[in-house]
Chains A and B, each alone.
Chain A
Amino acid sequence: MNIAISKEFSYRKEEFGGLFYNFNTRQLLLAKSKITVKLMDKVASGQWSKDEIVEDQALDDFTPQSIQAALDQLIEKGILTYDNDVPLVFEASEEKI
Chain B
Amino acid sequence: MNGELREQMRKGLASPICLTWEITYGCNLACVHCLSSSGRRRPDELTTEECKALIDRFREMSIFYVNIGGGEPMIRRDFFEIIEYATSNRVGVKFSTNGSRIDKEAARRIASMDYLDVQISIDGYDRASNDAIRGDGAFDMAITALSNLKEAGFATPKISVVATRESVEHLDELDAIANEYGAQLRITRLRPSGRGIDSYSYLNPTQSQQLGLYEWLSGRSDVLTGDSFFHLSPLGEPLDGLNICGAGRVVCLIDPVGDVYACPFTIDENFKAGNIRGQDFETIWQESPLFQSFRESEGPTSCTSCSAFASCNGGCMATKYFTGLSLDDPDPDCAKGHGANSVNLRSEATLISINRSPRRRELTLKS
Contacts and interface: CB of A to CB of B under 8 A. Distances in A.
Interface stretch (A6-14, A49-57, A67-75, A89-97): A6-14
Nearest to A20: B64
Interface in B1-31: 1-2, 4-5, 8, 13-15, 17
A21 B90 contact: no
For this complex, into which size category does the number of interface residues on chain B fall?
Answer: 10 to 19
A23 B4 CA distance: 22
A92 to B, nearest CB: 24
A10 B92 contact: yes
Interface in B53-98: 62, 64-65, 90, 92
B17 A28 contact: yes
Nearest to B64: A21
A76 interface: no
Interface residues of A, number: 13
Interface string A6-41: 010011101110010101000010101000000000
A28 B14 CA distance: 15
A14 B5 contact: no
B115 interface: yes
B114 interface: yes
Contact of A16 (B8, B17, B92, B114): B8
Contacts of A28: 1, 5, 17
A30 B15 contact: no
Contacts of A21: 17, 64-65, 92
A75 B4 CA distance: 25
Interface of A: 7, 10-12, 14-16, 19, 21, 23, 28, 30, 32
Given A12-B15, A14-B14, A32-B4, 12 more contacts: A10-B62, A10-B92, A14-B8, A14-B13, A19-B17, A23-B64, A23-B115, A28-B1, A28-B5, A28-B17, A30-B2, A30-B8
6 contacts: A10-B62, A12-B14, A12-B64, A21-B17, A23-B65, A28-B5
